[in-house]
Amino acid sequence: MTGTLPADLRLCAVSAGADDVLRSRLYPAPERPSRTAFQRDRERIVQARAFRRLAGKTQVFTSRASDHFRSRLTHTIEVAQIARCVAQTLGLDEDLAEALALVHDIGHPPFGHAGERALDECLKRHGLRFDHNLHALRIVEHFEQRYAAHRGLNLTLGVREGIVKHSRDYSADQHPELAAYLLGRRPPLEAQIIDLADEIAYLTADLDDGVESGLLEIGHIRDHVEILTHCYDEVEREHRGLDAKVLFNEALQLMQNVLTDDLIATTLANARAIGAASLDDVRDHPSRLATFSPLAESYRVLEKRYLYDVLYTCSALSLEHDKAEEVVTALFDFWIGEPQELPSGYVEQIETEGLARVVADYIAGMTDSFILLQYAQIKRTIRR
């Protein structure tokens, strides 16, 4: 399936690529003849400090027991290549899809989802919440400072809308501050495919890293993850006698291809079924058009449940999660009590943003190693 579809099947007509409003920026920026607006956004994202910090943030495994575990940066690159492949095959705007994939996890705090949960719990005590999509928007709109004329990266509306809406819909009643992002309408397909490219990437990678960690066994996965059972059987028929780890790697690649092809075929079929002929048709449809087929969706749900039961909640990772929670909560409480100990740039923001949000912003930006260093220093301060 991957490659380029015949011209009459491609979804170029519904692509966001030609939409002038989506290519617009808050601050005027002269066009560059060598690059499109979305290619320039991709460069701005890759050059952002928050993007570089993804290299030091947990995807699933905080421990450095293996150099082969995904970091949030390598996960991001895997999502980008899947998203680009899907967009290119369907005739969508590859550069917009790639930019959105590269920025999709930029708002994640240290320690993966455990860090995010802990930060959210801390903020709840102050009547606030932590949401990594909304935090990503704060990063690209306010925190990155690379340009003389404005704060933030001055990304196109298309990329900013995709940051907000790629993985979930926000209600206009609860989030009036997001009114510019057309909350009542679906995002373009380039944004819709990001969430599913993300799923494909981690469903593949977490089995791989799980086996690398020794917490998952190939035989157990093969017996319990239905899509992997089918893929493993197929590669075993083709490559009899090969080492189990090589067969497993082949099976993972096949699984990723099966899910990617399914996303492409199902999204195409959904768009054709409603006769989508413009971006407005995508936006006005009551549900998202980028989906897996019912069979692939059932595989996805089954595997996700397996990963949750056998890997994410196993005792070794639970210990890492407990430590993450302890570190995030202790630092949050310390700076709430001693705001003068925050870096001066953050102290200045307390008046406009409120102390709890500023402390959360500071913590959310940290890498795993930086937050552990802060924790060690502050424990010494408290003991004095």
Give the binding site for Mg ion (CB under 5 A): 105, 198
In the complex with Mg ion, the residue whose CB is nearer, 100 or 157, is 100
Distance separating alpha carbons of residues 137 and 46, to the nearest angstrom: 15
- Min separation Cβ 350 and Mg ion, Å: 31
- Min separation Cβ 220 and Mg ion, Å: 25
φ/ψ (deg, to 5) at 35: -140, 145
Angle, helices 355-364 vs 315-337, to 10°: value is: 140
Please calculate the CA angle 16-175-117 and round it to the nearest 5 degrees. 95
- Min separation Cβ 108 and Mg ion, Å: 8
- Min separation Cβ 78 and Mg ion, Å: 9
In the complex with Mg ion, the residue whose CB is nearer, 190 or 198, is 198
- Min separation Cβ 163 and Mg ion, Å: 12
Closest Cα partner for 160 from 236, 104, 241?
A: 104
Secondary structure in 3-state letters for 335-381: HHHCHHHCCHHHHHHHHHHCHHHHHHHHHHCCCHHHHHHHHHHHHHH
Say how many C-beta atoms besides its own lie within 10 A of residue 314's C-beta: 14
Two structure tokens written together for 347: 């102290």
In the complex with Mg ion, the residue whose CB is nearer, 198 or 368, is 198
- Min separation Cβ 127 and Mg ion, Å: 28
Contact indicator for 124, 117 with CB cutoff of 8 Å: no
**Half-sphere exposure in the Cβ direction for 74 (13 Å, CA):** 13
Closest Cα partner for 267 from 292, 296, 284?
A: 292
φ/ψ (deg, to 5) at 246: -70, -40
- Min separation Cβ 194 and Mg ion, Å: 9
Distance separating alpha carbons of residues 200 and 228, to the nearest angstrom: 13
In the complex with Mg ion, the residue whose CB is nearer, 198 or 262, is 198
In the complex with Mg ion, the residue whose CB is nearer, 198 or 325, is 198
What's the first-to-final CA gap in the chain, in angstroms?
64
In the complex with Mg ion, the residue whose CB is nearer, 58 or 154, is 58
- Min separation Cβ 192 and Mg ion, Å: 15
In the complex with Mg ion, the residue whose CB is nearer, 312 or 335, is 312
| Residue with tokens 């027991």, as numbered in its chain | 65
In the complex with Mg ion, the residue whose CB is nearer, 198 or 206, is 198
> Is residue 114 exposed (0-12), middle (13-18) or buried (19+ Cβ within 10 Å)?
buried
Closest Cα partner for 187 from 222, 157, 210?
A: 157
φ/ψ (deg, to 5) at 58: -65, 140
- Min separation Cβ 260 and Mg ion, Å: 16
In the complex with Mg ion, the residue whose CB is nearer, 250 or 303, is 303
